[in-house]
Structure 1
């Protein structure tokens, strides 16, 4: 690894950069970013998420499937409901930081 000019930080391996790019790519749609933002505030089922983000049930469900496959969210059963939550607290931190900074402009 080479040392970058930005204060001595080492460049991450290419695999890590590719994984980060894929995660950011998944969050590059307003709908998915809104879903992750909503889940960062607390867990929810697909109906609650659809109401909150203004999406249809099938659309929100498809977005959740993609986010789940990428490991950004997970689900658990609560009776007959599937409840979704953000699987990685670092994702919550990044989303809150990014959205918060842009909202403060």
Structure 2
């Protein structure tokens, strides 16, 4: 399951506490999620999740540092609040592709 639609604010959520408690929670970045993810913070406040619980970070799963799903029955929930680094990486790819295709207008923001 992916939860990526709620605004990154501690008082907004897509998944209720019971749903969060049923799943293995995977985050893009634990410190950011502990500040910005209402899904996570409200589930902890409700007592459905333990604030000291071990959460998996997606990058660690991809890098093989942490195990992903352990069975077909396991429910995983990717709770993304987004990272500026992701936005920058996507923008860099878009600019490179536009330059390669010779489209778009370059604007000098430094001057």
Greater Rg by CA: 2
- State whether TM-score is above 0.5: no
Give the TM-score normalised by structure 1.
0.26
Which gives a bigger RCO, structure 1 or 2 (Cα 8 Å, sep 6+)? 2
Give the TM-score normalised by structure 2.
0.25
